[in-house]
Amino acid sequence: MNKFIKSFLILVGLTSVLSVNAAEFESNVALSSEYMWRGVPQSDGNPAISGGFDISGESGLYFGIWGSNVEYFDDATMELDYYVGYAGEMEDSGISYDIGYLVYDFPGEDYDLKEIYLGLGYSFFGLTYYAGQDDADDNVEVSFALGDTGLSLTYGDYDDAGDYTILSYDLPMEIAGLSVNLGWHSGDYDGVYDDSEFVITFSM
């Protein structure tokens, strides 16, 4: 990724969020049997370790970095994502919104992906539009959670590239202090990938 863009995202994100009083810091780490992205395997059938952090302010501004090992490219063995955005809820409507800028970076590979995203949510329903930058495909993602059961269904239409479906279930109990998610990921990309994978993820 262009070093200027990376530095700019980090600078804008940190200065915007940390300038707000009562900034909140959250971190996450996970171990998955496979790293899946929009229905396509990214770690070549091998386990993936991922993690990241988010800094958010009371104003709704947030900034975050997330990373995982990958085995999708010839030279890159890691994916690093940088994002900055603004999220909140429309007053007295129950409708939430999330707008931001996201960069997928693959150190060692002469490739990155940039997207502007806009998400809307109401109750158990979500809709997110990803506008691909630099001639990248756009993506529309619809998700629905079945109440508080831990079950959710996501469908994505990735422009001319293909589509994907994700069925996810969060176990109601922890195992050894870890949250457990079971996921079925199916991708249908013309001439590139047409298959499905079952993935188990442990996170904290």
CA atoms within 13 A on the CB side of 9: 23
For the chain, how far is it from start to end, CA to CA, in angstroms?
29
CA–CA separation, 65 and 83 (whole Å): 7
pTM: 0.89
What is the helix (H) or strand (E) element at residue 104, kind and residue range? strand 95-105
Q: Give the residue extent of every domain in the chain.
A: 3-203
Question: According to the model, what pLDDT value does residue 8 have?
Answer: 59
Confidence of residue 73 (pLDDT cuts 50, 70, 90): confident
Question: According to the model, what pLDDT value does residue 146 have?
Answer: 95
Cβ-based neighbours of 5, under 8 Å, separated by 6 or more: 103, 114
What is the helix (H) or strand (E) element at residue 147, kind and residue range? none
Three-state DSSP state, 21: coil
The answer on pLDDT for 31 being more than 70 is: yes
Question: According to the model, what pLDDT value does residue 50 have?
Answer: 98
CATH architecture type of domain 3-203 = Beta Barrel (2.40)
Q: Per-residue pLDDT tens for 93-149?
A: 899 999 999 999 999 888 899 999 999 999 999 999 999 999 999 999 999 999 999
